[in-house]
Amino acid sequence: MNNSLIFQTSPEVTLSTNKFINVPVILKYEDTNLIEVVKEEGIGFTTQIPIYHQDGTYLAKVKGNRMYLTKDGEKAGLKIEKHQNLWVCTMDKNTLFEIQQQSVNAFKTTAEIYTPDGCFVKCSDSPSPNLYDSTGNELKIGGIIMSGNTISNCNIGIWLEKNGSCSIGVNG
């Protein structure tokens, strides 16, 4: 499989049924970018996702279909599995996130990832992102339902905060 499958010429990502076009940070929690689009010299755009353990330990950075492990990440046994048009990041046989190539210029991602302070963020095909505190209690995101939206030309697509607030389409 060649790396060009996960790279794209224009930054378009679908997350939780919502499309993000020309949005460099798709998902942010507090001051940490959890899913972002980065430009690779001479290749195009791809995703970058930091991986944290539930205790907040920084395990790895995934860039496109490559994973850069920390020493703690090596101990944790993180893996990227490559399938046709699909990349899956796993730890202990649990899927942390998937990136699906939808076309030459677009891909779709789902994620179940931890933040540096142990909160759990789940973004699937449900209409809204879910945020859980370190004890597993869901923090409600203001009754928001987001499904099938297009968010474009802003700096941050979804910005979640520990207090349960959520900002959409943030510039600045």
Helix residue ranges per DSSP H, 24-155: 71-76
Instruction: Name the percent of the chain lying above pLDDT 70.
Output: 72
Q: How far apart are CA 49 and CA 71, in angstroms?
A: 17
pLDDT digits (tens, 9 = 90+) for 77-107: 888 787 887 778 788 887 777 777 665 555 6
List the chain domain ranges.
3-170
Q: How far apart are CA 133 and CA 146, in angstroms?
A: 21
Q: How many CA atoms lie within 13 A of 165 on its CB side?
A: 4
Nearest 10 degrees: Cα torsion 37, 39, 40, 44:
90
In this predicted model, which residue has the larger pLDDT, 115 or 44? 115
Its pTM stands at 0.73
Q: How far apart are CA 158 and CA 172, in angstroms?
A: 13
Using the predicted structure, report yes or no on whether residue 171 has a pLDDT greater than 70. Answer: yes
